[in-house]
Amino acid sequence: MNEPFKESSGESTQNTNKEVSKSQQLATGVPQGSVLGPLLFSIYMTSLGSVIQKHGFSYHCYADDTQLYFSFQPDDPTVVARISACLSDISSWMNDHHLQLNLTKTELLVVPANPSFHHNFSIQLGSSTITPSRTARNLGVVMDHQLSFTDHIATTTRSCRFALFNIRKIRPFLSEQSTQLLVQALVLSRLDYCNALLAGLPACTIKPLQLIQNAAARVVFNEPKTAHVTPLLIRLHWLPVAARIKFKVLMLAYKTTTGTAPTYLNSLVQSYAPSRSLRSASERRLVLPSQRGSKSLSRTFSWTAPSWWNDLPISIRTAESLLIFKKHLKTHLFRLHLTN
């Protein structure tokens, strides 16, 4: 019984050796999994930017994912033609550079200024048809066409609930400190990821995230579901979800006032500079733009950041470093949301 197996094994080895002998040495590229891969690929894709900008689009590139975005009037009849022409040129550029545009993974998300307005256009490229999607994933964030982030919150809640379920099963074998570290790594990190996008949302929308944090605190101390959670959050020194969102936005605001934030954030806010000598000139305030009757602007970074920033005590706004600012800001929000 073993003899045929040995013979087939040897034959397989000979075939493998023949295939290896036919392989060729590559003069370009990096090993799979190399940290240089994304960087070199981004350099290789640099010339694609001029193709995109030629059509009046802005873009972001992350490894092999490219995001195009632009604004247009609702009654603009050239939108479909512009997008089709841009995608066609991108496809041609990729063919010339030994790449291929994957139309099956191409998503179109239209965010109307008026939520009641719907776009029904479709884009035809070759044999593929691209229609507007209700949601699209962007670096792990699920963005919907109304920017309500309800789908993102539901997805985050689902993943955190699954992690808590697994931690709860092994909780009898863990110490309190080990459980806290595990919860912070698997649950709180997901609650904090890109949470600045949730600024300005109503409390009822972010309530599912707060319920997850409450459940996480009870798991750490092995408390029942009916246990009051505020004392637990105080013992853990965890800010509530609403305060964590405000903390992230204010930290970005501090970076804009000190010039350490990215350029696109610096362009969204403006430091307050009075026309004459006033005491407020040294208080490091930000200009609060006028909403002009539009409620949608109340959720933008250019409005929430200056509004929350100007409400901070002067001692926090004028902190000498980011480390000192974060320490004083957390203490301020902790007293404001938990101890008052």
Residue 1 is predicted with a pLDDT of 38
Other residues' Cβ atoms within 10 Å of the Cβ of residue 247: 21
End-to-end CA distance of the chain: 80
**Helices 176-183 and 150-170 meet at what angle, rounded to 10?**
160
How sure is the predictor about 281, in pLDDT bands with cuts at 50, 70 and 90?
A: low
Q: Determine the residue type at 81.
A: A
Higher pLDDT, 182 or 302: 182
Query: Rounded to two decimals, what is the model's pTM?
Result: 0.81
Q: Is 321 exposed, middle or buried (0-12, 13-18, 19+ CB in 10 A)?
A: exposed
Question: Which of 37-51, 108-122, 198-212, 257-271 ranks highest by mean pLDDT?
Answer: 198-212
Residue 5 is predicted with a pLDDT of 33
How sure is the predictor about 178, in pLDDT bands with cuts at 50, 70 and 90?
A: very high
How sure is the predictor about 93, in pLDDT bands with cuts at 50, 70 and 90?
A: very high
Residue 86, pLDDT > 80, answer: yes
| pLDDT per residue as tens digits for the range 287-337 | 888 766 555 677 888 889 999 999 999 999 989 999 999 999 999 999 999
Say if strands 135-138 and 141-144 run parallel, antiparallel, or are unpaired. antiparallel
Q: Is 244 exposed, middle or buried (0-12, 13-18, 19+ CB in 10 A)?
A: buried
φ and ψ of 136, to 5 deg: -150, 140
Residue 97, pLDDT > 70, answer: yes
Residue 282 is predicted with a pLDDT of 65
- Residue 183 belongs to what H/E stretch? helix 176-183
Residue 229 is predicted with a pLDDT of 94
The Cα–Cα gap between 290 and 95 comes to 48
Q: Work out the percent of the chain whose per-residue pLDDT is above 90.
A: 46
The Cα–Cα gap between 330 and 313 comes to 13
Residue 191 is predicted with a pLDDT of 95
Q: Work out the percent of the chain whose per-residue pLDDT is above 70.
A: 86
